Amino acid sequence: MNPDYRSDRSDLVEDFYIPALAAATSYDRAVGYFATSVIAALGQGMDEFTARGGIMRIIASPYLEPADIQEIECGYELRKILQRAALRDLEKSVEDERAARGLGKLGRLIAAGRVDFKIAYVEQRGRVGMYHEKIGVFRDEGNIVAFKGSANETRSGLVGNFEAIEVYRSWDPRDFDRAMRISQDFEDLWNDRTPTLRVLPFTEAAKVVIERSALATAGREDLDNLPSGGTPISAMPTDLVGMLAIPQSLSVRDYQKEAVQGWFHNECRGILRMATGTGKTLTALSAAAQLARVLRKNSGGFHLLTVVVAPYQHLVDQWASDIERFGVTPLRAYESASKWSPHAYNLLESLSLGGVNGGVIVTTNATFGSTTFQGLLNAYRGNLLLIADEAHNLGARHLRTQLPPNAQYRLALSATPERWFDEEGTDALTDYFGRVTFEMGIGEAIRRGALCRYAYTPVLVELDDEEAELYAETSAKIARLIAAGTDLKEDSDGDSPLGRLLKKRADILGHARGKIKALRDEIEKRQSGSHQLIYCAEGKHPLLQTEGTDGARQIDQVMTMVGNELQMTAARYTSDTKRPARQDILRRFQENSLQVITAMRCLDEGVDVPVARTAYLLASSSNPRQFIQRRGRVLRKAPGKDSADIIDFVVVPPPGGDALQYDTERNLLRREFARVEEFAHLAENEFVTLDALRPIRERYNLFDT
């Protein structure tokens, strides 16, 4: 080892730092600037230092921006400002690939309790200055190598700039006093004994950023080594109880791998905005398995609880089945708390005592928001991953306040994460889960072969005179409420005056009497066909509700027509259908012993019916989430299926209407045609579909729609 190193005759990294790290058991460094990219630049020496159990202590001075200095001068709390500045430097490091690798190595040292950070600053006569000294100390079993010089602990300081350092070796009598003095200077700094300087602890503040970045970096590196879609990914070792593992039989598609990478890149937080039918469940479980794998790699004694929240019980059962493919039998938490809560608390105890390394709980939105389940989440102190299926539901006022703040890892799934007329709920989801880290809409999913192609047929259905009059009357009441200042956000509250009127108007369209005859005409064309879904409107026709008269619901009329009159095998699938019956219906539909399923909303979210080839949309909806979900149900891929048919019943005003109602009728069509445009845009027969609507567009001057 030389007594000095200078850039014109030495390589500071290769000639000094790496050999010193390779031999040292501890490394102390005090510098004006410290950047994590230097850890990556030190390469092999840093790896050997880490593997040997080396201990590192770092003192640095954060860069203060003008706004920081102004806040200090205004009397804001100095400690918070300095921590914020230092964390800002670390957060910026995450964006740099080389620095992120350095953070990954620091993260492993932090996890093992072998690195500590402190912040230094000058405080003199009421002014704050930057600590700019540059000293360092390497130690082994009895020797010291101390150095000082111009190099900052940054990659440019060690590699790019022209720098020089003086080195003092304790075993050389000529250097002994200086080596010991520099070593003592560092100890005085570390223990805040240096006049005019103040040194503050920073490890805990930095820990969250560094550990999350280390996890993300390791996750990206692992994923980079995985095969692309079409080739089964090797399963993770399964010697640890409760750990999710990607099964040998699963071929993860390229886009699913990209989704997991995006989530890891965002430090295991984010929203996957993926079209219905593209495999969000398997993507999320692959991400969870990768998280378990990385946690195990970084710290062998880890524990991870995964909580999956889904809207309904049948979706919990569906998730549970998929989770079992990943090697874990999940705890299903719904219905009576007495059935599941003792098992849940036993799982938490086993995790805390090390009896198991992981576990999965799947629950419904309703149970998730319960006092019992919230108490369970509050009692858990280990690593927690929250996966929200159809995450837009958790933006509801009564659920968004229940999202656990102690979940370090968060993953939201939804084809449409935005809440309809609820910016506050949408913002709450983004604030909690983070940004959209991967997005794949239906168009891209079709192009990439994740969903099948489809033909779209809009069928025009006229309102009768009574329906048209009620529609105009209801629209006028809505307009008066809005003109009086009623907030449109009340649409999300079905019990508000505006919410009730908006629902009534939607029901007029959904239950339009002409739809039953139009449906019969379409079904007769496919009477011998199988795997057909009929989406019916909920409730009863508003005219029946207004008059207080009895009458068959739309779904009852459809079942009578399909089952009795057309003699097709059919079954209804509603919220009243018991869980065993639902499973039987889906099984028979899959096996082709059932031609038709008639449903009310229950097939909107999450239910897998990939064999469905034809969908009839009686339930009109201007809510993008509903019609996107319904389209996605029938676009799922299945063996022998390469295309699907969507028949949409579009309500139009009767001919010869009153000129005074023109604006009302035009607005009705504008709402209906917004859905038509969305469906037609990606259909195989787009131009044929739009051309069929030309006459009514001309009549109402709707070519801007």
Using DSSP, state whether 547 is helix, strand or coil. Answer: helix
Structure tokens at 678: 């969305």
- Label residue 18 by pLDDT band (50, 70, 90): confident
CATH no. of 4-208: 3.30.870.10
Tell me the mean pLDDT in the region 537-544: 86
Fold entry, domain 453-463+513-700: Rossmann fold (3.40.50)
Residue 597 structure tokens? 């399923």
Q: What is the pLDDT of residue 293?
A: 85
Residue extent(s) of CATH 3.30.870.10 domains in the chain: 4-208
CB contact set of 693 (below 8 Å; sequence gap of 6+)? 458, 460, 673, 676
Q: What's the rounded mean pLDDT across residues 60-73?
A: 67
Among 146, 153, 103, CA closest to 132? 153
pTM: 0.66
Phi-psi region of 648 (alpha: psi -120 to 50; beta: other; left: phi over 0): beta
pLDDT in tens, 148-184: 987 555 544 444 467 788 999 999 999 999 999 999 9
Q: How far apart are CA 107 and CA 113, in angstroms?
A: 10
pLDDT of residue 31: 81
Lowest mean pLDDT among 36-40, 135-139, 320-324: 36-40
Question: For the segment 206-232, what is each residue's pLDDT rounded down to a tens digit?
Answer: 665 565 555 655 555 555 444 343 333
Who's near 64: CB < 8 A, 6+ residues apart?
Answer: 72, 81, 82, 85, 128, 130
Q: What are 625-641's pLDDT values in tens digits?
A: 677 777 877 898 888 89
Q: Which of 94-98, 142-146, 202-206: highest mean pLDDT? A: 142-146
Q: Which tokens in the block code for residue 566?
A: 């057309």
Q: What is the pLDDT of residue 230?
A: 35
203-224 and 78-95 helices, crossing angle to 10°: 10
Query: Going by C-beta distance under 8 Å and a sequence separation of 6 or more, which residues neighbour residue 649?
Result: 458, 459, 461, 512, 515, 518, 519, 616, 617, 618, 620
- Which tokens in the block code for residue 19? 């050999």
Q: What does the alpha-carbon distance between residue 329 and residue 325 come to, in Å, rounded to a whole number?
A: 9
Mean pLDDT of 598-622: 79
CA separation for the pair 508, 501 (Å, rounded): 11
Residue 109 is predicted with a pLDDT of 66
Between CA 535 and CA 364 the distance in angstroms is 24
Residues of the chain with CATH 3.40.50.300: 227-447, 453-463+513-700
The string of DSSP letters for 606-641 reads: S---TT--EEEE-S----HHHHHHHHHHHHB-BTTB
417-447 pLDDT per residue, tens:
888 768 888 899 999 999 999 999 889 999 9
Q: Find the length of the chain.
A: 705
Amino acid letter, residue 353: L
Give the Cα separation of 214 and 218 in Å (integer): 6
Q: Topology of 227-447 in CATH?
A: Rossmann fold (3.40.50)
